[in-house]
């Protein structure tokens, strides 16, 4: 059974008596453990599609399913536990809590779930990404690459089935971007998670198992590769 499905979804907005179609009749299916990339030029609808697939917004028409359950019209109260239990998010802008240490930021989703092992899980992830020495640092004391690795750990602490990543290397130089991306893929593989990633980076897109290309709100191409590749060196 597919872990993620979109059936003929559209997203429109009304502006000054005009109807603007951002997504137009998009359908897709993602299998458990798969790594797919969503590509397209600016304004093609990539981020809009990601927000719909993850339940952060609702489609104008069409139906959406996560792990067999329909989320098309789900309320925030219904979606909140699903997101915390089964979904991890990695954004371009990090979104770390400024007043919390790196370790506390990572622990937060697990603590919200009532996980008594939140600290132990956070320490293991910090060690896994090579940032144990930064555990007590505030976000303001971290580099951009370190912030994104902390955000990555936070997204993965609850061992989600689905990871949504929106330009996760967009604010990083090529070296740090490669480190973050490769660690994301390695952790996704270790946890058996499914990864849906939006990127402009052709090297990252080329490393995915499948690439979905959006143009003017429509899905125009699907490319399959045999396996996931590392980026850089």
Residue 182: inside a domain, yes or no? yes
List, in sequence order, every beta strand (DSSP E) within the chain.
4-15, 18-30, 35-39, 61-66, 69-70, 87-91, 162-166, 194-198, 210-215, 218-224
Residue 231: inside a domain, yes or no? no
Averaged pLDDT, 88-109 = 94
Residue 30: inside a domain, yes or no? yes
pLDDT digits (tens, 9 = 90+) for 140-191: 999 999 999 999 999 999 999 999 999 999 888 989 999 999 999 999 999 9
Q: Does 230 score more than 80 pLDDT? A: no
Residue 21: inside a domain, yes or no? yes
Mean pLDDT (the chain) is 91
pLDDT for 221 equals 73
pLDDT for 178 equals 92
Residue 115: inside a domain, yes or no? no
Q: What is the domain range of residue 90?
A: 4-96+158-224
> What's the CATH number where 172 sits?
3.40.50.300
Task: Spell out the SS3 assignment of 2-63.
Answer: CCEEEEEEEEEEEECCEEEEEEEEEEEEECCCCEEEEECCCCCCHHHHHHHHCCCCCCCEEE
Residue found under tokens 């954004």: 91
Give the confidence band of 15 by pLDDT, cuts at 50, 70, 90: confident
pLDDT for 49 equals 94
The number of distinct structural domains making up the chain is 1
Residue 91: inside a domain, yes or no? yes
Nearest to 4 by CA among 29, 25, 26, 27: 29
Give the confidence band of 92 by pLDDT, cuts at 50, 70, 90: confident
Residue 141: inside a domain, yes or no? no
Q: What percent of the chain has pLDDT over 70?
A: 96
Q: What is the pTM of this model?
A: 0.90
Q: Does 194 score more than 60 pLDDT? A: yes
pLDDT for 229 equals 56
Residue 39: inside a domain, yes or no? yes
Averaged pLDDT, 92-119 = 94
Give the confidence band of 233 by pLDDT, cuts at 50, 70, 90: very low
Nearest to 3 by CA among 162, 175, 142, 163: 162
pLDDT digits (tens, 9 = 90+) for 27-80: 999 999 999 999 988 888 899 999 999 999 999 999 999 999 999 999 999 998
Buried b (16+ CB within 10 A) or exposed e, 16-54: eeeeeebbbebebebeeebbbbbbbeeebbbbbbbbbbb
Sheet of 210-215, strands arranged across: 87-91, 162-166, 194-198, 35-39, 210-215, 218-224
Q: Does 17 score more than 90 pLDDT? A: no
Give the residue with greater pLDDT, 190 vs 232. Answer: 190
């Amino acid at each position: 059974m597919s872990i993620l499905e979109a059936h003929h979804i559209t997203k429109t907005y009304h502006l000054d008596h005009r109807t603007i179609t951002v997504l137009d009749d998009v359908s897709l299916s993602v299998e458990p453990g798969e790594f797919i990339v969503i590509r397209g030029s600016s304004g093609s609808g990539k981020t809009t599609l990601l927000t719909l697939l993850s339940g952060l917004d609702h489609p104008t028409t069409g139906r959406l399913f996560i792990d067999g359950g329909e989320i098309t019209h789900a309320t925030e109260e219904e979606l909140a536990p699903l997101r915390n239990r089964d979904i991890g998010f990695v954004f371009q802008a990090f979104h770390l809590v400024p007043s919390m240490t790196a370790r506390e930021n990572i622990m937060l989703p697990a603590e919200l779930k009532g996980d008594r092992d939140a600290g132990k899980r956070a320490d293991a992830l910090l060690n896994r990404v090579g940032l144990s020495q930064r555990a007590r640092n505030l976000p303001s004391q971290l580099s951009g690459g370190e912030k994104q690795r902390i955000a990555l750990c936070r997204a993965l602490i609850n061992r989600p089935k689905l990871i949504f990543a929106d330009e996760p290397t967009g604010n990083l130089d090529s070296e740090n971007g490669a480190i973050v991306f490769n660690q994301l893929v390695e952790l996704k593989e270790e946890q058996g998670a499914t990864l849906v990633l939006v990127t402009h980076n052709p090297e990252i897109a080329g490393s995915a198992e499948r690439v979905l290309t959006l143009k003017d709100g429509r899905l125009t191409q699907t490319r399959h590769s045999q396996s996931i590749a590392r980026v850089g060196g």
